[in-house]
Amino acid sequence: MKSFILHNARLIDGSDNEPFLADIFIKNSLIEKVEPKGKTNLSSDIPMFDLKKRTIMPGLIDCHVHLVAPLEANSHEPFWKLNTPPSMKILCAEANALKTLKAGFTTVRNCGGLSTGLPEDIFLRNAINSGYTLGPRILACANGISMTGGHGDRGFPAFLPSHPELGYGDVPADGPTDCRRAVRRKVKAGADFIKTFTTGGASTPGDGPHSVDFTMEELKALVEEAHAHKKKVAVHAVGTQGIRNAVEAGVDTVEHGSFLDRETAEKMKAQGTSLITTLAIYKAIINRGKSYPNQEAIRKARVVSDANSSALALARQVGLNIAMGTDASGSIRNGENASEFVALVEEGLSPREAIGMATANAAKALGLEKSIGTIEPGKKADLIIVNGDPLANISLLTIRTNIRMVIKSGKIVCFRESGENAAVGSDLPKSWINRI
């Protein structure tokens, strides 16, 4: 069945439009037409399914995840990275990808695999695209690029050097030539974008949000090389100076952006740089409490979490493109991505604004606004069907049983009739829409 019509759906289309009852025409993998309910005579040969006024939304997009992460809750990640062979890491990433898809996220940007020699996120992306396994559309970076002693090079004790080939630590690069070489290695590996770091962070011992990674010369070489290969650059940047340097070097997305200042925000606006906020992860780190082995991270996360609120307020004032990220890995589990919506609404955003960050804004931040992010003709049919009204209660999206159906590129890939259990597959029978 190449074409079908989703009739009588309450449409949240990902833009500023008011929700309305719509008929959505799907042809092959694309949205062909979106019309107010009943405008077109539906008595044609095309199968039509009545959604009975259920909510339909664009497939969600998380701009910052780490799929190559432990499956067990409360794992200590550095220990897991050291003790897990590369093949097992790919299987964990596959399981995390499926959880993410079942939660309604049809596209994710994986902001750091673990291995450079065996880039898990690239392999997984290719396997999903080839139909060997099931998961969201993945943008992969094949591991990050870090200066020696930078945020990506500090996950392990100093006597145990990072080993990016085996899956612990990011690729070390020192000096502009190294930075260019590292970018070229990523491009050779098949990276969709380049991930790097200009500050420390909460999770790494010995550095902090305000430490500055890389010189301007190094950063400019890295960004220039990436752009020469038409790859966007995503930069972990928490402290003010590191954000400033990243923006000055011309990066495409600032990840976290906690200590953003007005001048830099205005420069981002002028350059079209997007901000990827990650609020919930810092709250989740704080909530890990006294039993968490990394107490230093908890102290730093408290400071960063307060700064995140001010940065978000400033970014909204300046009118930046703000998109949603979760940093899903250990503290926020893959598949619990929607918890970020709740954190955003707690900051005073409307549910519609929060959803916009994970749909239209996210697509724009990733450079995919022509193909995903809103429900309109010509775009990929990435759609989710949801119980209830997330505009009235955003936390509905955090409850898995409310995500009744996930459609990716016009194919039903996940269906929940009731309860937790979901049928998943690369092309489930469309007639199941009748059981919604």
Neighbour tally for 206: CB within 10 Å: 11
Smallest distance, Zn ion to C-beta of residue 310, A: 21
Token pair of 43, please?
A: 């008595």
- Residue number, 223 or 276, with CB nearest to Zn ion: 276
- Which of residues 201 and 351 has its CB atom nearest to Zn ion in the complex? 201
- CB-wise, 111 or 238, nearer to Zn ion? 111
- The answer to whether 60 touches 105, Cβ cutoff 8 Å, is yes
As measured in angstroms, the least distance from the Cβ of 325 to Zn ion is: 8
Using CB under 5 A as the binding rule, the residues of this chain from 299 to 338 that contact Zn ion are: 327
Total residues in contact with Zn ion, by rule CB under 5 A: 2
- Cβ-proximal residues to 258 (8 Å cutoff; 6+ apart), any chain: 209, 238, 239, 304, 307, 308, 311
Q: How far is the CB of 408 from Zn ion (least distance, A)?
A: 24
124 vs 76: CA distance, rounded Å = 23
Which residues lie across from 380 on neighbouring strands?
A: 30
Of residues 139 through 168, those in contact with Zn ion by CB under 5 A are none
| Smallest separation, CB 225 to Zn ion (Å) | 22
Looking at the Cβ atoms of 276 and 385, the one nearer to Zn ion is: 276
DSSP 8-state symbol, 394: G
Which one, 330 or 410, has the nearer CB to Zn ion? 330
301 versus 414: smaller Cβ distance to Zn ion: 301
CA 149 vs. chain centroid, Å, equals 26
In sequence order, what DSSP letters do the residues of 35-101 get, joined into one string?
Answer: EETTSS---SSS-EEE-TT-EEEEPEEEEEE--SS-SSTT--HHHHHHHS-HHHHHHHHHHHHHHHH
For Zn ion, the closer CB: 10 or 256: 256
- Our CB check for Zn ion shows the closer of 327 and 382 to be 327
For residues 65-124, which are near Zn ion according to CB under 5 A? 111
Handedness of CA 138, 142, 148, 154 (dihedral sign): positive
Shortest Cβ 229–Zn ion spacing (Å): 22
| Nearest distance, CB of residue 282 and Zn ion, angstroms | 12
- 297 near Zn ion, rule: CB under 5 A: no
CB of 255 to Zn ion, least distance (A): 6
Number of residue whose CB is nearest Zn ion: 327
Residue 228 half-sphere exposure toward CB, CA atoms < 13 A: 11
424: Cβ contacts below 8 Å, ≥ 6 apart? 98, 101, 102, 134, 413, 414, 415
Q: Compute the least distance from the CB of residue 112 to Zn ion, in Å.
A: 6
SS3 107: strand
Q: Which residues bind Zn ion (CB under 5 A)?
A: 111, 327
